[in-house]
Structure 1
């Protein structure tokens, strides 16, 4: 009987080209669910594609000229009907900065709530500038990965009228960043609890 044996050095680190990822499965799932599909955006338009991304990740959207938030992906309007997102409530959602390019060309988003979002970090704060022309009301709360560096990016949101910040444990110099934001956004009411 002939036994096949692997060469002795097959599993040595110099020969083996495969590495085991140290990233958890949820990281990869979050990446997949937040990935931007440019073809889908071309097919259905930016607001519909953005709404699909948000709802798929547990966030809610409110359409322009509507008072209620849409919470169920399965009741999205027909693809042929065009509506525009006016508000986003991402409380407890799994959105991450990877999906923020979905906001590109969504010209009517005035309000965004990022509350208790596990995957929101400084990179997401930077990408909020995509909405700088329309965003007037922003709330960032209980997003544990946001730091002072991330909050500094909010200075680019010159049309903000209301900024609510709270429970951001990695913001160490709260007073300093609050003063910096007040100076950069003089027309904005800033509440930092």
Structure 2
């Protein structure tokens, strides 16, 4: 039987009170119940929009792999960004102390676009975005559409016009993704293949003898 919003809110208040009075290691059960209850009544148009923007972005990147000058570079970054933005609830190692003693706090939802985890070792919360160059990047849902442009020697203004964003946004994406490539591949193999924004090499004038 579907519960009303009022009934769900009442249960949430009760469970929230239990959590506040319980020790940290005893909150797993009530916390999971709260997460499940929230998923029953917090589905909104924003959630639906976020889901389909994210899904469209991934599918757009798959389609554009066939149109990029460097499918390997695009595929490499696509896999990395998908992992960072993944809604997988399995807790990863802590990005601060590398401890594996971590647990799920919130599943991805309209309130939490990506899952939130907690580390028992340092007693701090984190997401897979923590410590990455795209952590606070706006318009993340457009990244998958943007990735194939990295291999093309296009002016930033033309890419901004095609994607209907500002030049500053394109510049920010470019800078952040170059930093991500350096983190993923310190050898510089992939970052050297980024051509977006580079000026064409000047041709040497040929003089007749």
Give the structure-1-normalised TM-score. Answer: 0.28
Give the structure with the larger helix fraction: 2
| Greater length-normalized contact order (CA 8 Å, ≥ 6 residues apart) | 2
Structure possessing the higher radius of gyration over alpha carbons: 2
